[in-house]
């Protein structure tokens, strides 16, 4: 299938559901208009003040000032327009990238199909017909304001050493209830009874981390048999194993992040702690049960026959134990109850987003030909930017200095963002320029988008001068790493090609805590690029014996472990996204990150969690 056909087939599944959701009324915005002078003043350093805030771009997008479409547009329109025309000279590069993208997207679709089948036909049948429960996606549909659910890490758990665990047995993602963005953690009981595998813990911890970083209320739909017992040693004892989920629930509550749970299935052991630790919990009659040990264990220990409902059903927990707060006679009633709980959170509901914006001047489908299959197939990063930013307008910073890093300001669906994008090796000058720019964003409270495509490995120095150059580069990269680590603005990282070695740290790789990190399907994540191993090394043995064979084996292993899907299966990122959807997804994330400012209750200095009595 050629990429044009493929991209039509895929054409932005997200946009279909989310665009109308965010379209705005122009007249409403103009009522609150500010003058150009005021906007310019708001963009300046003095107005942001000295406080180091983790609140994203509040100063620019608060409710009274986000609405001046007319003046804002005049301002945006003065940013220079990027030339996004691809020189015909690079036809072969485009063709190479396109055919690679097609292969990667084919793989993406196969995996998506696998994930959508959950635990398979028999398990679905058991879940819906015997156990009379709704499927996890139907539950979310009932609970959310609209159809929009931005699923995170859907490929988590695929092709793990212990087999396939579709979606790691639980869906995580972002959606809205009563207009409030929330994080959802919803077990899929069709996958081995919703039991928790090591990768499920990782995925749920990551969802909680996103909730903490972005201050998003969390909703747990609990339907889990607890730990997947054959892997208990990888689940229970360590700091970031299962118990961390419950620890986080307490800490999040102390941070004033509301957490609401619905017991909508059998919740055993670890599965029972999640709702019990939540701030407010509803249970579905005849469907929800909670116990530390279920009827079979009771029978084994005491010889007593007892029904699940009697041991830990809805009536028992709502009337006797107090482990839940709301009794619901059906799943529908439980989700209505959650919506009512949300109405009590005392959040100022964000006004409908009222920004108007221009589309990029160049077609996003062409990003498939720009997604580099290899570092040597990388074209000028501005060709990619021109397909992602509003009106392809870019206010570049230090355009002629350290040109292997491109920095500048742009708008994405009307939201101001600072862009730090690789355009070659992260040299000494490029790193210093990166430091300077990141500090500007930090001072002005502007979120940063890192577009990552690092060099496979630094060339070995062939002279003293080159060695000195490398040392200076190391020092400058260390400065950039420190700046990235300490910048208190929200960060999104998009890996569009290689994510190799130390340069990826300076570009806000996973260990540098971006609020969100996404990969294009062609992305490669590894310490070094296996394809750039020395071809004429002594250890290459044409007869495939001894060290040569070992080396080939290592190379093959590295090759497999570098793929975007391998990374996403292990939750080293927040998901593989299609290049043509990147703009939409980044815009959504910018909106989500902005929500913290709507929380009315201020943080206490020594807060306490809500403790169930
Ligand atoms: N560890 C490993 N596998 C488990 C499991 C666990 N804790 N709980 C369930 N499974 C497996 C079952 O063996 C079954 O596997 P299969 O499909 O290969 O046969 C699958 O999950 C579904 O379980 P099943 O009992 O057929 O489905 P169900 O919907 O009727 O019941 C549970 C699901 C979770 C309620 C039920 O299996 C149960 O009570 N499990 C024990 C829970 C437990 O004791 N946990 C303690 C953790 S410390």
Give 329-391 as a DSSP string: SSHHHHHHHHHHHHTTS-B-PPPPP----PPPSS-GGGHHHHS-SSGGGPPPHHHHHTTTSGG
Task: Tell me the three-class secondary structure of 441-476, residue by residue.
Answer: HHHHCCCEEEEECCCCCCCCCCCHHHHHHHHHHHHH
201 and 150 in contact (C-beta within 8 Å)? no
Q: Tell me which residue has its CA closest to atom 27 in ligand 1.
A: 193
Residue 339 lies in a domain: no
Predicted confidence (pLDDT) at residue 343 exceeds the cutoff of 80: yes
* Whether residues 572 and 594 fall in one domain: yes
Query: Binning pLDDT at 50, 70 and 90, where does residue 545 land?
Result: low
Give the distance (Å) from ligand 1 centre to CA of residue 225: 6
14-26 tens-digit pLDDT: 332 322 222 222 3
Predicted confidence (pLDDT) at residue 11 exceeds the cutoff of 90: no
Q: Tell me which residue has its CA closest to atom 18 in ligand 1.
A: 192
If you average pLDDT over each of 10-14, 51-55, 458-462, 558-562, which comes out highest?
558-562
Domain final residue pick, 330, 354, 383: 330
Residue 225 CA: nearest ligand 1 atom is 34
Domain residue limits at 486: 1-116+346-613
| Percent of the chain scoring above 70 in pLDDT | 82
Residue 127 CA: nearest ligand 1 atom is 29
* Whether residues 131 and 112 fall in one domain: no
3-state secondary structure of 90: helix
Give the distance (Å) from ligand 1 centre to CA of residue 244: 22
Give the distance (Å) from ligand 1 centre to CA of residue 134: 18
Residue 232 CA: nearest ligand 1 atom is 48
Give the distance (Å) from ligand 1 centre to CA of residue 315: 23
* Whether residues 98 and 230 fall in one domain: no
Whose CA is closest to 453, among 546, 360, 519? 519
Return the CATH number at 425.
3.90.226.10
Residue 375 lies in a domain: yes
Ligand 1 pocket, CB under 6 A: 126, 131, 192-193, 195, 225-229, 266, 268-269, 294
Q: How many domains does the chain have?
A: 2
Give the distance (Å) from ligand 1 centre to CA of residue 251: 30
The average pLDDT across 93-107 equals: 98
119 and 191 in contact (C-beta within 8 Å)? yes
Residue 295 lies in a domain: yes
Whose CA is closest to 26, among 66, 58, 57? 66
| Percent of the chain scoring above 90 in pLDDT | 73
Give the distance (Å) from ligand 1 centre to CA of residue 288: 15
Residue 574 lies in a domain: yes
* Whether residues 492 and 610 fall in one domain: yes
Half-sphere exposure of 368 (CA within 13 A, CB side): 23
Give the distance (Å) from ligand 1 centre to CA of residue 337: 28
Q: Tell me which residue has its CA closest to atom 19 in ligand 1.
A: 192
Q: Tell me which residue has its CA closest to atom 12 in ligand 1.
A: 192
Residue 338 lies in a domain: no
Identify which of 135, 195, 241, 307 to mutate to test ligand 1's pocket (most ligand atoms within 8 A of the CB). 195
Give the distance (Å) from ligand 1 centre to CA of residue 192: 6
Whole-number average pLDDT of the chain: 85
The average pLDDT across 371-388 equals: 97
* Whether residues 149 and 48 fall in one domain: no
Residue 224 CA: nearest ligand 1 atom is 34
269-303 tens-digit pLDDT: 999 999 999 999 999 999 999 999 999 889 999 99
User: How many angstroms separate the CA atoms of 485 and 470, rounded?
Assistant: 22
pTM of the model: 0.87
Give the distance (Å) from ligand 1 centre to CA of residue 189: 9
Residue 379 lies in a domain: yes
* Whether residues 110 and 129 fall in one domain: no
What is the pLDDT at residue 380?
98
Q: Tell me which residue has its CA closest to atom 25 in ligand 1.
A: 193
């Amino acid at each position: 299938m050629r990429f044009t056909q493929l991209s039509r087939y895929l054409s932005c599944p997200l946009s279909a559901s989310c665009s109308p959701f965010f379209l705005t009324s122009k007249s409403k915005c103009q009522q609150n208009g500010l003058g150009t002078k005021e906007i310019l003043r708001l963009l300046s350093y003095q107005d942001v003040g000295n406080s180091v805030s983790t609140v994203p771009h509040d100063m620019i997008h608060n409710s009274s000032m986000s609405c001046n479409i007319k003046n804002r547009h005049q301002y945006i329109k003065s940013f220079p327009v990027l030339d996004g025309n691809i020189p015909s000279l690079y036809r072969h590069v485009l063709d190479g990238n396109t055919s690679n993208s097609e292969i990667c997207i084919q793989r993406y679709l196969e995996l998506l199909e696998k994930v959508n089948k959950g635990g398979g036909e028999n398990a679905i049948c058991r879940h819906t017909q015997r156990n009379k429960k709704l499927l996890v996606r139907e539950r979310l549909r009932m609970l959310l304001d609209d159809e929009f659910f931005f699923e995170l890490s859907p490929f988590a758990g695929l092709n793990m050493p212990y087999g396939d665990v579709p979606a790691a047995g639980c869906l995580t993602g972002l959606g809205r209830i009563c207009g409030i963005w929330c994080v959802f953690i919803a077990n899929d009981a069709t996958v081995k009874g919703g039991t928790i595998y090591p990768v499920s813990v990782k995925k749920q911890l990551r969802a909680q981390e996103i909730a903490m970083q972005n201050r998003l209320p969390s909703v747990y739909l609990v339907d889990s048999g607890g730990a997947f017992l054959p892997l208990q040693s990888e689940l229970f004892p360590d700091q970031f194993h299962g118990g961390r989920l419950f620890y986080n629930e307490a800490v999040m509550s102390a941070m004033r992040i509301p957490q609401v749970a619905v017991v909508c299935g059998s919740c055993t052991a670890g599965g029972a702690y999640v709702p019990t630790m939540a701030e407010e919990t509803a249970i579905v009659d005849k469907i929800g049960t909670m116990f530390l040990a279920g009827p079979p264990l009771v029978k084994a220990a005491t010889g007593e026959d007892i029904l699940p409902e009697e041991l830990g059903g809805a009536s028992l927990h709502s009337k006797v134990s107090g482990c839940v707060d709301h009794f619901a006679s059906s799943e529908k009633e439980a989700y209505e109850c959650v919506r009512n709980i949300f109405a009590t959170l005392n959040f100022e509901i964000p006004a409908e987003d009222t920004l108007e914006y221009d589309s990029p001047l160049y077609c996003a489908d062409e990003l498939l030909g720009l997604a580099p299959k290899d570092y040597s197939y990388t074209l000028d990063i501005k060709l990619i930017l021109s397909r992602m930013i509003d009106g392809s307008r870019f206010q570049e910073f230090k355009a002629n200095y350290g040109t292997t890093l491109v920095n500048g300001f742009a708008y994405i669906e009307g939201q101001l963002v600072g862009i730090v994008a690789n355009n070659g090796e992260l040299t000494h000058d490029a790193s210093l320029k990166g430091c300077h720019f990141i500090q500007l964003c930090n001072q002005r409270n502007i979120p940063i988008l890192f577009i990552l495509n690092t060099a496979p490995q630094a060339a070995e120095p062939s002279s003293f001068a080159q060695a000195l150059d490398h040392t200076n580069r190391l020092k400058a990269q260390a400065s950039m790493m420190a700046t990235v680590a300490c910048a208190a603005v929200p960060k999104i990282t998009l890996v569009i090609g290689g994510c190799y070695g130390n340069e990826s740290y300076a570009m806000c790789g996973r260990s540098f805590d971006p609020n969100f990190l996404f990969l294009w399907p062609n992305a490669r994540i590894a310490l070094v690029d296996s394809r750039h191993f020395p071809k004429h090394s002594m250890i290459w043995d044409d007869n495939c014996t001894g060290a040569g064979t070992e080396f080939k084996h290592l190379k093959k292993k590295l090759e497999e472990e570098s793929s975007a899907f391998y990374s996403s299966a292990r939750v080293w990122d927040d998901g593989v996204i299609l290049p043509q959807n990147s703009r939409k997804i980044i815009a959504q994330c910018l909106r989500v990150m902005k929500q913290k400012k709507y929380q009315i209750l201020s943080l206490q200095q020594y807060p306490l969690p809500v403790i169930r009595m």
